[in-house]
Amino acid sequence: MGSVEPLEDPEAALERVRLSFHARLGGERARLASLAEALKSAGRNQALILQDIATFAHRLRGAAATFDVPELSADAKALELAATMTADGLANDREPSFWPTLETLSNRLTVLSGGMPATGTGANNAAGVDPALSGLLDVVLAHRYLTDP
């Protein structure tokens, strides 16, 4: 990184960074999907992938809090915890909370980046919330975060 040149318009810079964060969320969703795929086919390397997921979630959790998106931060925190616990052997990847937690975060990222969440059926439905209601809430939240300064 290095030194930062003085900004001509700090307000514009803050807004630009905030928009960049939201623009990044689609990429974060893709990254999470890629990590999930890797975990499914990891075999004996599951612990390493779980650690990567925990790191990914931790970083997203901090960034979301910084950019004032608390629900995303909370979802990321839940996944970070689940991944860490699973990696530590306190649970395993078939533990009921892990995949729903991952899917909840994935849905949140999808909505915030302008897409529609997976409806989530059966075991993948996050926390047993009604899929239609969950999706609606996400859309409402996303609208709020994307339009509020």
Partner 1 sequence: MQTESVPSSPRVPIIDLSDSNIILLTQPLARCRVLIVDDDELVVGHLSALLQRAGYEVHTAGTGEEALSILDTMFCQIVLTDWQMPDMDGLSLCRDLRSRARDGYIYILMLTIRAGRSDILAGLSAGADDYLVKGASSDEILARLEVGRRITHLEQALRSSNRENRRMSITDPLTGARNRRCLMKYLPRELERSRRYQHPLAILSCDIDHFKRINDGFGHDVGDQILQAFVVRSNGCIRGGVDWIARSGGEEFVLVLPETNLSGGSCVAERLRKVLSGQPIATSSGAFAVTVSIGVSALETEAEINTGSASQLLIAADRCLYASKKLGRDRSTAASIERAGAVLSDAQLGSHSGIG
Spatial neighbors of 63 by CB under 8 A, at least 6 apart, are 21
| CA pair distance 125, 48, nearest whole angstrom | 26
**From the CB of 128, what's the least distance to partner 1, in Å?**
27
Provide, rounded to whole angstroms, the least separation between the CB of residue 65 and partner 1.
3
Nearest to 107 by CA among 92, 93, 121: 121
Instruction: Please say which residue, 3 or 121, places its beta carbon nearer to partner 1.
Output: 3
- Alpha-carbon Rg for the chain in angstroms: 17
> Cβ of residue 63: shortest distance to partner 1, in angstroms?
5
Q: Which is nearer to partner 1, 6 or 128 (CB)?
A: 6
The footprint of partner 1 (CB under 8 A) covers 1-4, 6-7, 10-11, 13-14, 17-18, 20-21, 24, 55, 58-59, 61-63, 65-68, 70, 73, 77
Closest CA to 33 of 132, 102, 129, 130: 102
